[in-house]
A and B are shown apart, each in its own frame.
Chain A
Amino acid sequence: MEISADIHLTRHPDFVLDVEMTVQPQGITALYGSSGSGKSTLLRLLAGLERGTRKDRIEITSGKTVWQSEQIFVPPERRGIGFVFQQQQLFPHLSVQGNLDFALSRQHTEQNLEVNQVYDWLNLHSLLDKEISQLSGGEAQRVAIARVLLNGAKCIFMDEPLGSIDSPSRSRILPYLDRLHRNLQIPMVYVSHSYEEITYLADHLFVLDNGKITSQGSMLELCSSIELNSGEGDAAAVVIQCTVAKHDLDYRLSELDFEGANIFVNAEQYQVGDSLRVRIPAKDVSITTTRPGNSSILNILEVQIVSFEENSGPSVLVRLRRNKQFVLARITKKSLNLLDLQPGQTVYAQIKSVALLMESIDD
């Protein structure tokens, strides 16, 4: 299901949403921006939960079907989509099982997911008989996600699904979302103001600011852009995608393949062949012009300098490329000049710390 939108919507007093976009038919597309950037409004328009006024120009199509135009408006119940809300919106007069049955009896498409498979993925078996008021925020959100999956949606929209959940439970929900991402063919549109969540999950990224899309593209490429990171200070970081190559049980280290190079990290809970995301903070990456010989640092990558940050501060971000992926390094301006670094030059990035993005689920 490929969703395209061309939207020009005016809201009182002076907010304008002006967006032209196409949601990729695979993977997770993230709409990222601060509050008030229009990302939730955009998602609700795509879902048909808002429709604008006669003065707005809204054209939304899904494949060859027109969802909204000047003459046509397809209501949300006939768009075949699923929607996960920030506040879970479980039906309070039904039990957990009742909420799931509500979805099962109104499926948008022929169900191709096993009910028990969905319960397994979201660890729901022990919750089925509970009342909605007995659930914690994280449990309720897992039920809400299951409700959407069992409903047979062709595309799943999530509007800040972790926004109402306290942060310990949040880090427990993320692996579930990641698990769905790995197992499902259904595309998702994920709205969030949390850069961290986006880096965990997204494949494609639209950055919204004040009602406009300011950048878009593949998550792995965009997350290394100097523009997106230059305001982040010490939080500047990239996410890279690796594949588990082998485990070294003696040292409890795993060897990950990153664009033909090796990265060592503790990832013994993953299987060889699993693809996973690794976060590298820019402040933990340093640059040498020759391959360091005797270093305690294990992770050294041969990379090419792409560009530098232009700023007046004492340190700069350097964007480094290895084949199709990128790494950022934060170094002092003094080092930049002493080493006489130039775009296109081949250098070595020493990576002090590497963090796996996701713990696995214990169930």
Chain B
Amino acid sequence: MIDPDLVSLTITLKLAAVTTFILFLIGTPLAWWLARTRHVAGFLVEPLVALPIVLPPTVLGFYLLILFSPNSGFGKAWASLTGSTLAFTFEGLVIGSVIYSLPFYVQPLQVAFSGVKQDLLDAAATLGAGPVDRFINIVAPVCRSGFVVAGTLAFAHTVGEFGIVLMIGGNISGETRVLSIALFDHVETLEYGRAHLMAAGLLVFSFTLLLIVYTLNRWQTGRSSSLGSGS
């Protein structure tokens, strides 16, 4: 039989990876739109995206739980489409994590996108590059470290998620029991040895990721200021 902690580790990594991938797909255009728009809607969407930073995860979890219930329109539609409910499933966790980690992906990327000068894009346009061409060949490479920072933060933040998982995922081994929940269980059952191992592991993991992020940040600001003085 496989160690249940290893199962939890697998679920955690899978959840973080899937969440980060989905954020890459929907968070990237959202960050681009927020960085470029002068539309009034931007003023509304920006705080909405940032909300999970200040909101207690249990609040978010509570509303998601209500949304997932077969009594809500969304829950009903999902149930008729897939034949199962979202609460207490891995899919439900993914939806919760995407919302919960959204600001950690969108904000650093938005900052990076804002740093791309319109003139640089205009230059690419007059050279014959259309909007998609400009994004892939100018914006993406210029903001490469912004993508790494955003992806790393979103991944790490999903790994560390607790309150929201407890509300909508419960504690089902092999399905929704992630590392932070497993750690909580070990403490509850006084298995301090396993708790230590897990806590230390998460600590080292988080520190390493943040070290990478901040090093990249420093490197990028250093580079962009030298670019600025050169132009």
Contact = CB atoms under 8 A, between A and B. Distances in A.
A132 B127 contact: no
A140 B230 CA distance: 10
Contact of A76 (B126, B144, B231): B126
Nearest to B137: A102
A85 B230 contact: no
B123 interface: yes
Contacts of B117: 89
B187 interface: no
Interface in A37-74: 47, 49
Contacts of A151: 127-128
A277 interface: no
B125 interface: yes
A75 interface: yes
B130 interface: yes
A7 B120 CA distance: 26
Nearest to B143: A93
Given A75-B125, A82-B126, A151-B128, 8 more contacts: A76-B125, A77-B125, A79-B126, A89-B122, A91-B142, A102-B137, A106-B127, A140-B231
Interface string B101-144: 00000000000000001011011111111100100011001101
B126 A87 contact: no
B126 A83 contact: yes
B226 interface: yes
B127 A93 contact: no
Contacts, number: 71
B146 to A, nearest CB: 13
B126 A47 contact: yes
Q: Top 3 A-B pairs ranked by shortest CB distance?
A: A106-B128, A89-B123, A83-B126
A85 B123 contact: yes
A92 interface: yes
A304 B123 CA distance: 49
B139 to A, nearest CB: 10
Contacts of A49: 122, 125-126
B116 to A, nearest CB: 10
B119 A85 contact: yes
A147 interface: yes
A135 B226 CA distance: 12
Contacts of B122: 49, 76, 83, 85, 89
B227 interface: yes
B128 A107 contact: yes
A87 B138 contact: no
Given A77-B128, A102-B127, A87 B141 contact: no
Interface in A230-252: none
Q: Which bracket fits the contact residues of A?
A: 20 to 34
Q: Which bracket fits the contact residues of B?
A: 20 to 34
A81 B128 CA distance: 9
Given A47-B126, A106-B128, A88 B120 contact: no
A283 interface: no
A148 B127 CA distance: 7
Contacts of A93: 138, 141-142, 144
B142 A77 contact: no
12 contacts: A47-B126, A77-B130, A85-B122, A91-B138, A92-B142, A102-B129, A103-B127, A106-B128, A106-B129, A108-B128, A147-B127, A151-B127
Contacts of B230: 132-133, 135
Interface string A89-131: 1111100000000110011100000000000000000000000
A92 B227 contact: yes
A228 to B, nearest CB: 31
Contacts of B124: 91, 102
Contacts of A91: 120, 123-124, 138, 142
A100 to B, nearest CB: 10
Contacts of B120: 89, 91
B18 to A, nearest CB: 30
Contacts of B138: 91, 93
A30 to B, nearest CB: 19
Contacts of B123: 83, 85, 89-91
A87 B142 contact: no
B37 to A, nearest CB: 16
Contacts of A108: 128
Given A92-B227, A93-B142, A132-B230, A87 B128 contact: no
A103 B138 CA distance: 13
A170 to B, nearest CB: 16
A155 to B, nearest CB: 11
Contacts of A79: 126
A102 B126 CA distance: 12
A88 B122 CA distance: 11
A133 to B, nearest CB: 5
Nearest to A91: B138
A89 B128 contact: no
Contacts of B125: 49, 75-77
